[in-house]
A and B are shown apart, each in its own frame.
Chain A
Amino acid sequence: KNEVEQSPQNLTAQEGEFITINCSYSVGISALHWLQQHPGGGIVSLFMLSSGKKKHGRLIATINIQEKHSSLHITASHPRDSAVYICAVGGSQGNLIFGKGTKLSVKP
């Protein structure tokens, strides 16, 4: 079993829909990262959080430390949001442990 599990693995949505991507982890963490990877390969850091909630534009990330769970929400989704979204946790043993990613496709 992976230490970081993301769901769903693939997600197709219509433009304008509200999207939720989930991340569950089994290790103690110092921080959780949400990353966005576009088809070209480059990765952009969206959020780094260790408690509560963060918002940036149409993106919202939440984390529940007790439940070892985080969610990434996208409001009013747009085709340009199509990408792979990766959850990564900073484990107690050091370095980041990555999930396999959620591939999101937003149709116009």
Chain B
Amino acid sequence: ETGVTQTPRHLVMGMTNKKSLKCEQHLGHNAMYWYKQSAKKPLELMFVYSLEERVENNSVPSRFSPECPNSSHLFLHLHTLQPEDSALYLCASSPYRLAGGVAGELFFGEGSRLTVL
């Protein structure tokens, strides 16, 4: 138990569906992240939120839409995805994020494994 909870753990969706991934942390952290992990590739940073403000969008297609309504919750809204978007999506948090990098340890959730048919 790392203090970061992701739901759902598994998701299968068609290319025309709309779904959302949810991440929740009660560690009092100010920074939250979405990462994508595809088979045999390193983790790729997608989005960074610091104090509920998006501070980085790492050239992610618009079919992925993040939302951070408060410092404890982070969503990733999915719409008209492609089969190549099938991957493990990991949420993480850290105590704070200084300009120019991650500050403090990262705490990851268990991930949401997404399959796009």
Chain A interface (Cβ < 8 Å from any Cβ of B): 2, 4, 30-31, 33, 35, 40-45, 48, 86, 88, 90-101
Contact = CB atoms under 8 A, between A and B. Distances in A.
Interface of A is mostly: strand
Given A91-B101, A96-B101, A96-B106, 20 more contacts: A2-B42, A30-B101, A33-B105, A35-B106, A41-B37, A41-B90, A41-B110, A41-B113, A42-B111, A43-B111, A45-B105, A48-B104, A88-B43, A90-B101, A94-B56, A95-B48, A95-B56, A96-B43, A97-B42, A98-B43
Pairs of residues from A and B, 7 with the lowest C-beta to C-beta distance, nearest first: A41-B111, A43-B108, A42-B110, A98-B42, A98-B43, A94-B100, A90-B101
A44 B4 CA distance: 11
A42 B105 CA distance: 15
Interface of B: 2, 37, 40-43, 45, 48, 56, 88, 90, 92, 99-102, 104-111, 113
Contacts of B90: 41, 43
Give the most central of B42, B48, B90, B100: most A CB within 10 Å: B42
A43 B92 CA distance: 9
